[in-house]
Structure 1
Amino acid sequence: MASNSDKLSKLRSAVDGLNEISANEKSGFINLVSRYLSGEAEHIEWSKIQTPTDEVVVPYDTLAPPPEDIGETKKLLDKLVVLKLNGGLGTTMGCTGPKSVIEVRDGFTFLDLIVKQIEFLNSKYGCSVPLLLMNSFNTHEDTAKIVEKYSNSNIEIHTFNQSQYPRLVADEFIPLSCKGQQGKDGWYPPGHGDVFSSLMNSGKLDAMLSKGKEFIFVANSDNLGSIVDLKILNHLINKKNEYCMEVTPKTLADVKGGTLISYEGRVQLLEIAQVADEHVNEFKSIEKFKIFNTNNLWVNLKAIKRLVEADALKMEIIPNPKEVNGIKILQLETAAGAAIRFFNHAIGINVPRSRFLPVKTSSDLLLVQSDLYTLADGSVIRNKDRANPANPSIDLGPEFKKVGDFLKRFKSIPSIVQLENLKVAGDVCFGSNIVLKGNVNINAKPGTKLEIPDGAMLGNKTINGPEDI
């Protein structure tokens, strides 16, 4: 059996012959694989895990208010860059192209809303917050065309690509492209932990530093809650924190999300993949680990440059096994949140749940298109008439999975301000002006179509057929 050093040298010579990627990408990939083979994964000793104090995970309501003076606010914002992670495709929701161009509300896409938010800031304060989009090779071409429509906007928009790494054939440890696998199937983007080196390699990091920018706010493009927060920015600049992860209280829906811990004197992200089987239930407990990572991150640009140049960002490697055309492959990835332990004075801030509003499924789309939210200056604002601080739990069946099918099944989006739980199974269609309250369960019998009529008011009901409406 080949030794690890034999595997690595065979892989290195195979990768050298790949013309599709840059020298930086080749060395980054080999570096990642050699770390993986050396088994340097950091072992977490469960007994050493400590709950972070309020100094480490700062409660949001203890932050000082930002300056009221418009000139002072402009100075703050002129130090900021916004970066949205835009590498994902909308395939899970049945769309082709970048996920960020799915329409989420009032005809606006994720990207439209992001642009509107920053346009509003730049207009209100006379500042120049640029928008960076980190694409993958999957989304790059489409995004380049889409951003042309914002050419008259008051925002500088920059796009750059994250790394493109070859997928590995698991049993032979060679690039999949060496097996005659042409096209995009042979490649993968190595997770958002790649954002720091890609910022540097693309030249965008130095370009932003040369304009006097100090902080970058990084967030997923599908998180509608991740808007610029002046209180957080003001706090980080005043306290000289190099890195901040926004965390929020965990609910039963978030039990697999990474959490912040204090470990050997540093703040660290603990992911479920690092947890030994015997401790997984404890990790998922919302009593012991009360917060989870929203992936809204604020990072000092000079600190990124220092750490990337020193090759010091050795985030935990996440092995992601997959199968492509019957071949077992391996993708090695990293997460941006795991970089927290390498930065000085790194903190978490325990933010309100409203800053975490991801749209991953059509069930999430129903929430954000409903009367539970309104739109103002590109931001989705929660309806004050909703008494329960938690959002309703919505579970739409596979018939609603694709955005196109979802839209066909609603004449208009029902009122859900007083809804707690909705579960829909089978071939169900909704008329217009429907009101849902409390707990509603709708099950169409196999082979039958169930239509909820216009104007229906359903409160605490189980519906299996028209007779139950």
Structure 2
Amino acid sequence: MSENGLTAARAKMRDAGVAQQAIDVFTHYYAQLEGGATGLIPEETIEPLTRIDSVDGAAIDEDAAREALDRTALIKLNGGLGTSMGMDRAKSLLPVRGGRSFLDLLVDQVMAARRRHGARLPLIFMNSFRTRADTLAALAARPGIEVDGLPLDFLQNREPKLRADDLSPVQWPADPELEWCPPGHGDIYTALMASGVLDALLERGYRYAMTSNSDNLGAAPSARLAGWFAASGAPYAPEVCRRTPADVKGGHLAVRRSDGRIILRDTAQTPPEQMHYFTDQFRHPFFHTNNLWFDLEVLRDTLVERGGILGLPLIRNEKTVDPADPASTPVIQMETAMGAAVEAFEGAAAVEVPRSRFLPVKTTNDLLLVRSDVYEVDDDGLLRMVPERACAVSLDGRFYKRIGDFEARFPHGVPSIRAAQSLSVEGDWTFGAGVVVTGRARIGSEGSPGMIPAGARI
């Protein structure tokens, strides 16, 4: 039964033009799935990782740091459509500050780093089929971002969603695109090799890559971190931040008891009955930012040695073929996390970085924050937090979750929250211009729907 499913899935991928390396990786994980692999990492199999070097305390030679940055490529994960916020195009094209999008600010950051450090610093996006055209069109308006004839992007692979009952490729004639899914951002290593971008970078003298999510405006080019990574001699290193009570979702690093390797454990890999360990900020004091550094030469050699398969832990993701229809066919999506590669390289390290390097926008709560006066944008395209602590924002998901609804309720821009500790909005409220929020503010649902008048102080 499952052999027929694998044969059908491989044929479907070949017919769609998926690279053979990606088909081989899919086959590797299919065998694990068929064998009953869950991808779970129980607490009793790991030890907490509690001591990590900090980049702030490292002695780094400035000239060596500039040289390391000149040999670094910046790769941004850009396959997401922002569907959780109701978007249907590349999330990086969403306006963030003064009409400038994530992509605009990323380009500003790269161009500023080139000027400041004299580095080549190519900017390359890993796009999906759904984000490629819009992203390249936006980049065409930013002349000079190309470097050394390198491409501005490469494509993330895709694979069939599998029926949960027999592991065959799901059929969904109502929308055949929903029959496919990305293999998780762990596909970056396969896609780099299959696209030829890995070899192109090495041929042009690049040795290191720094990669992060395109919606994380804190993950800017850093000569200091490039210098630390080059001096460390590590083949691979994730950036981590110290956890707070609010950091309960992001993955964390741990030490596997069986072999002493550093590993990444995500929420989906934690047994449900052990989530209290996962969210314990004192037991696991650092969270994984998904900002990663890796040695391109080591990556190439390792992929060649292993036949293109790094062997990252499987993440078994159970969904329905149409995410918007819980009654549609149950499917399994096989995924991997790029941060899990920390266990694939002997001698991998980790580095603690300032919280300012982790500024993702996953929800409209986050979007309100980065659009607000809590942050200012400097000449290098970097967001600088003005108060000591950022305001905690909680918007009623019934009325603010989707970007269209959010924009309609803040027609004059978001309120001032620089002097606020928290802002909680319940109900349906439209905000006038010049609203100022201070202290711990809560707007209840009584009187909703309604208008917060211009100039109001809350």
Give yes or no for TM over 0.5.
yes
| Corresponding residue for residue 394 of structure 2 | 395
Percent of aligned positions that are identical: 35
> After alignment, is 179-188 or 141-150 more displaced?
179-188
Task: Determine if the alignment matches structure 1 residue 289 to structure 2 residue 284.
Answer: yes
- 3-state secondary structure, aligned to 1:175: coil
Could you say which structure has the larger radius of gyration?
1
- 3-state secondary structure, aligned to 2:48: coil
User: Aligned partners of 1:426 and 1:13: how far apart in 2?
Assistant: 49
| Corresponding residue for residue 355 of structure 2 | 353
Contact 2:238 2:339 in 1 (8 A): yes
Contact 2:8 2:169 in 1 (8 A): no
Task: Determine if the alignment matches structure 1 residue 37 to structure 2 residue 37.
Answer: no
Contact 2:43 2:277 in 1 (8 A): no
Task: Determine if the alignment matches structure 1 residue 58 to structure 2 residue 56.
Answer: no
Q: How does 1:105-254 map to 2 (within 5 A)?
A: 105-153=97-145, 155=147, 158-177=152-171, 180=173, 183-254=176-247
Give 1:392's aligned amino acid. C
User: Aligned partners of 1:181 and 1:154: how far apart in 2?
Assistant: 40
User: Aligned partners of 1:453 and 1:10: how far apart in 2?
Assistant: 60
Give 1:259's aligned amino acid. H
User: Aligned partners of 2:340 and 2:142: how far apart in 1?
Assistant: 33
Contact 2:42 2:271 in 1 (8 A): no
User: Aligned partners of 2:298 and 2:66: how far apart in 1?
Assistant: 23
User: Aligned partners of 1:273 and 1:127: how far apart in 2?
Assistant: 39
In the alignment, structure 2 segments of 5+ residues that lack a partner are 323-327
CA pair 416-166 structure 1, distance change in 2 beyond 3 A: same
What do residues 49-91 of structure 1 show as CA deviations (whole Å, max 9, x unaligned)? 333353xx21232212440x5xx55422211000000000022
User: Aligned partners of 2:22 and 2:39: how far apart in 1?
Assistant: 24
User: Aligned partners of 2:371 and 2:154: how far apart in 1?
Assistant: 30
User: Aligned partners of 1:40 and 1:287: how far apart in 2?
Assistant: 30
Give 2:17's aligned amino acid. I
User: Aligned partners of 1:449 and 1:317: how far apart in 2?
Assistant: 46
- 3-state secondary structure, aligned to 1:150: coil
Task: Determine if the alignment matches structure 1 residue 339 to structure 2 residue 341.
Answer: yes
- 3-state secondary structure, aligned to 1:347: coil
Q: CA deviation at 1:201?
A: 0.4
User: Aligned partners of 2:5 and 2:261: how far apart in 1?
Assistant: 38
Q: CA deviation at 1:379?
A: 1.2
Contact 2:242 2:285 in 1 (8 A): yes
> After alignment, is 212-221 or 225-234 more displaced?
225-234
Match of 2:315 among 314, 318, 326: 318
CA pair 182-432 structure 1, distance change in 2 beyond 3 A: closer
CA pair 21-157 structure 1, distance change in 2 beyond 3 A: closer
Contact 1:248 1:293 in 2 (8 A): yes
User: Aligned partners of 1:235 and 1:14: how far apart in 2?
Assistant: 43
Question: What is the aligned length?
Answer: 442
CA pair 241-52 structure 1, distance change in 2 beyond 3 A: same
Match of 2:384 among 381, 384, 401: 381
User: Aligned partners of 1:143 and 1:408: how far apart in 2?
Assistant: 25
In the alignment, structure 1 segments of 5+ residues that lack a partner are 459-469
Q: CA deviation at 1:265?
A: 2.1
Match of 1:267 among 257, 262, 265: 262
Contact 2:253 2:262 in 1 (8 A): yes
| Corresponding residue for residue 366 of structure 1 | 368
User: Aligned partners of 1:21 and 1:154: how far apart in 2?
Assistant: 27
Give the aligned CA root-mean-square deviation in angstroms: 2.1
User: Aligned partners of 2:247 and 2:431: how far apart in 1?
Assistant: 29
Q: CA deviation at 1:271?
A: 2.4
Contact 2:72 2:208 in 1 (8 A): yes
Give 1:170's aligned amino acid. A
What do residues 442-468 of structure 1 show as CA deviations (whole Å, max 9, x unaligned)? 02336x43222222222xxxxxxxxxx
User: Aligned partners of 2:87 and 2:329: how far apart in 1?
Assistant: 26
| Corresponding residue for residue 441 of structure 1 | 442
Contact 2:39 2:316 in 1 (8 A): no
Q: CA deviation at 1:180?
A: 4.8
User: Aligned partners of 2:66 and 2:271: how far apart in 1?
Assistant: 48
User: Aligned partners of 2:187 and 2:71: how far apart in 1?
Assistant: 23
| Corresponding residue for residue 325 of structure 2 | none
Match of 1:81 among 61, 73, 79: 73
User: Aligned partners of 2:246 and 2:274: how far apart in 1?
Assistant: 19
Contact 1:261 1:267 in 2 (8 A): yes
CA pair 433-269 structure 1, distance change in 2 beyond 3 A: same
Contact 1:374 1:381 in 2 (8 A): yes
CA pair 285-31 structure 1, distance change in 2 beyond 3 A: same
Contact 1:135 1:160 in 2 (8 A): yes
